[in-house]
Amino acid sequence: MENVARQIRRKGQLVTLRRLTGSGPQSRHDVEVRAAVLAYAPDELAAANTQATRWVRLTDHEIRVMAWPGPPAEDDVVIINQREYTVLAADSRRLTTRETIHVLAVKG
């Protein structure tokens, strides 16, 4: 898994992780992170509309450095190529004492 984290940092796609907080006017917390965006399965909707489920793997490096209110959680948003995806589930696994990898299921 440590090799996966290293590869993500070196070759990962730049995406934005967003969290909205507060009630009424919400505060937006964004952080740009390197991520591996994995295969998706299009889900048929009415007519020709489709939604895609994707797997997004990212490390906590940028989250820690930018003091983003992490770790990623359900209902956060991942912006990939200017398209928003809602986090359906998030699984965080500690790789070392300083490194955590997050695997997100996103849909949008």
**For the chain, what is the mean pLDDT?**
87
Give the CATH number for residue 66. Answer: 2.40.10
Average pLDDT over residues 71-99: 93
Handedness of CA 38, 92, 90, 12 (dihedral sign): negative
| Domain count of the fold of the chain | 1
Tens-digit pLDDT profile for residues 7-52: 898 899 999 999 999 888 889 999 999 999 987 666 655 555 667 7
pLDDT at 96: 82
How much is the pTM?
0.85
Inter-residue contact 88 to 74 (CB < 8 Å): yes
Q: Which of 75, 74, 72 is nearest to 59 (CA)?
A: 72
pLDDT at 52: 76
Contacts with 100 (C-beta within 8 Å, 6 or more apart), sequence order: 59, 60, 71, 92, 93, 94
pLDDT at 99: 83
Q: Which residue range is the domain that position 12 belongs to?
A: 2-107
